[in-house]
Chain A
Amino acid sequence: MPRKDGGRKANARPERDSGEGARSHAIWSGTITFGLVSLPVDLFSAHRAATISLRMVDEDGTPLRRQYYCPREDRALTKDEIVRGYEIGDDEYVVVTDEELEAIAPEKSREIDLRRFVAVDEIDPMYFERAYFLAPATESTKAYRLLAEAMEREGRAGIATFVMRGKEYLVALLSEGGILRAETLRFQEELRTPEDVGLPKLGEAPARRVTELTKAIESRKSKDFDRDDLSDPSVARIHALVKKKLGSRKDVVKAAKLPDEPESTAEVIDLMKILKERLQGRDDSKTSRRKGDDGDGLENESKQALYERAQALDIAGRSQMSKRELIEAIREAQ
């Protein structure tokens, strides 16, 4: 079954794998607005990239790094050399920058504006696409907790549309156990109807077959959902093989550490650990004590604020920069 985003086509922008990006692993940063209340948040995936974490290695077990490469020049490329393009003809592309993609929907790129609240069970489950956890991006968690509490007690989800990584998403903001989740929903135009697919109308159901199938269903009924049904059988198979190989010491080497871990190998990210830290709010006091603080306060600024400073100083390549890179570039330019 083809998985979304599984192909070569790059939906995502080039990975930002240093500074702020690597520290937080946030997929999107922006503000939730709820009436006149604004609440800065970071989004984190609620799904891991794979059921078991395997690395690409060479014959000797050396972990390999993934990098972008230009087939014409036959060389590796750095992030600064990569842009995003939209194909308009055979091998013909129009380059679009992150700034342009944000500028065509400036509010939606930074804001999830909850103007409607719907009953959670009213949404057809076919609409749900994937889930993200929301973590407060401020030291204070009060507004976050207040929204979570109000939605949970009302049994309602906030609905909005917003733009993330060059795409617009319909999103339902749900609250459960004091934690806010953003679940992207498919737009109606993204879901085919049986008529779109050209499915024939259901024919006459032979009574005898209905009885037989009803009996078959009855004989397999179960009261509770068992999470174990959903575990990936290939994980157990791989673990068994690993155990066997460890026993015979065949194909076992000491694991070498990869120098600069690229963010794209999502399997190495411990999502749980990151979430546990970030859900308790951003500890601003820690940030300011981090090394490299020049006392100019830049360390305490949000990435967006730094970006705006960089814009004012006309620093080239700012849209591709990590927070750390922005700070350094601003210090150099001032």
Chain B
Amino acid sequence: MAARAIWKAVVRIGDERIPVRLFTAINDARVHFRLLHEKDKSPVRQQLVNPETEEAVEYAAAQRGFVTDRGDLVILTREDLEALEPPESREVEVLRFLPTGSIDHRWYDRPYYLGPDGAAGDFAALAEALKRSGREGVARWVMRRKDYVGTLRLHGDHPVLITLRRAEEMVEASQLEPPGGRALDTKEIGLARQLVQMLAEDFDPSSYRDEYRERVLKLVKTKASGGKVTLMKPRRKAASEDLGKALRASLEREKKRA
């Protein structure tokens, strides 16, 4: 059965408009837990509390506060924040097109497949034009009163829209100082590189499965039927003392395997 579209939109490139539908590309197969009150096994709720009076404050009555560098707190009421929300729109506006791959995957958040909304010819033409251009588009839109930015590109032959993270969300590695210390031994670097080479493989996503999920479900089943669970304790390995020795032994082991 076909999945349901989560949103209808119009991709706009200058004066060109292509009606599309968005479909989530993600299958949520993760195990979800609830936090419970141990005594009666009832789900707990999150509650806001005034720490001075210990009184509960309803979520709807709470407001937001912005703390300035000088220690002032500016109250932003619900009305304030609502007034700042962007106006509703169906438009996905493509600002510019960059060579595909210009946007590093670190910005990628959630992928959505696009499908035609009516005009199938227009949609096929969009896919074809993207393919010929070898480019991806930086797009922005407002969905359910929230601003989004994303990349419009192809996944195989299919147009996708992938939401991007915000610049403000990113902790940039370039602003961090890498760990320092005494210069590394070039021989050891060589050994480490050799080991990476020996373990080099093609990336095959089909060779990895979430096995843990099945184990959690089995554990739940065992416990639900009153079965006993044996606990094996996890161990944390100690740091290697002699790196050169550990690397040489690793290489020996891999050579034997090969």
Are A35 and B253 neighbours in the complex by a CB distance under 8 Å?
Answer: yes
Are A187 and B193 neighbours in the complex by a CB distance under 8 Å?
Answer: no
- A156 CA to B254 CA, complexed, in Å: 18
Are B13 and A220 neighbours in the complex by a CB distance under 8 Å?
Answer: yes
Contact of A99 among B28, B126, B231 (CB under 8 A): B231
> Which chain A residues numbered 217 to 250 have a C-beta less than 8 Å away from chain B?
217-235, 237-238, 241-242, 245-246
Contacts A209-B121, A220-B96; is A280 near B180 (CB within 8 Å)?
Answer: yes
- A198 CA to B37 CA, complexed, in Å: 42
Shortest distance between the CB of A74 and any CB in chain B (Å): 9
B165 partner residues in chain A, CB cutoff 8 A: 47, 230
**Nearest neighbor of A259 in chain B, beta-carbon distance:** B51
**Nearest neighbor of A171 in chain B, beta-carbon distance:** B208
- A69 CA to B45 CA, complexed, in Å: 5
Contact of B156 among A101, A103, A194, A214 (CB under 8 A): A194
- A72 CA to B139 CA, complexed, in Å: 47
Decide if the interface of chain A is mainly helix, strand, loop or mixed.
mixed
| Interface bracket on B | 35 or more
- A151 CA to B181 CA, complexed, in Å: 18
Q: Interface stretch among A16-24, A26-34, A287-295?
A: A26-34
Contacts A123-B203, A176-B173, A202-B157; is A225 near B98 (CB within 8 Å)?
Answer: yes
- A131 CA to B27 CA, complexed, in Å: 20
Contact of B240 among A37, A188, A246 (CB under 8 A): A37
B167 partner residues in chain A, CB cutoff 8 A: 227-228, 230-232
Contacts A199-B113, A209-B121; is A50 near B223 (CB within 8 Å)?
Answer: no
Q: A138 an interface residue at 8 Å Cβ cutoff?
A: yes
B77 partner residues in chain A, CB cutoff 8 A: 251
Are A126 and B179 neighbours in the complex by a CB distance under 8 Å?
Answer: no
- A123 CA to B203 CA, complexed, in Å: 7
A67 partner residues in chain B, CB cutoff 8 A: 46-47, 49
Are B74 and A220 neighbours in the complex by a CB distance under 8 Å?
Answer: no
Are A86 and B170 neighbours in the complex by a CB distance under 8 Å?
Answer: no
> Which chain B residues numbered 179 to 225 have a C-beta less than 8 Å away from chain A?
179-182, 184, 188-189, 192-193, 195-197, 199-203, 205-206, 208-213, 215-216, 218-220, 223-224
Q: A38 an interface residue at 8 Å Cβ cutoff?
A: yes
Are B184 and A142 neighbours in the complex by a CB distance under 8 Å?
Answer: yes
Q: Interface code B232-258, partner A: CB below 8 Å = 1, 0 otherwise?
A: 111111111001001101110110000
Are B184 and A117 neighbours in the complex by a CB distance under 8 Å?
Answer: no
A70 partner residues in chain B, CB cutoff 8 A: 37, 40, 42, 44-45
> Which chain A residues numbered 27 to 84 have a C-beta less than 8 Å away from chain B?
29-31, 33-40, 45-48, 50-59, 61-73, 76-77, 80-84
- A63 CA to B212 CA, complexed, in Å: 40
B218 partner residues in chain A, CB cutoff 8 A: 104
> Which chain A residues numbered 76 to 100 have a C-beta less than 8 Å away from chain B?
76-77, 80-88, 91, 93-96, 99-100
> Which chain A residues numbered 191 to 224 have a C-beta less than 8 Å away from chain B?
191-192, 194, 196-200, 202-206, 209-210, 212-214, 216-224
22 A-B pairs (CB sep. < 8 Å): A40-B239, A48-B168, A54-B76, A57-B75, A59-B63, A62-B52, A68-B35, A70-B42, A99-B233, A115-B199, A126-B108, A153-B189, A154-B200, A179-B173, A187-B205, A190-B29, A199-B158, A216-B129, A238-B81, A251-B74, A255-B72, A308-B233
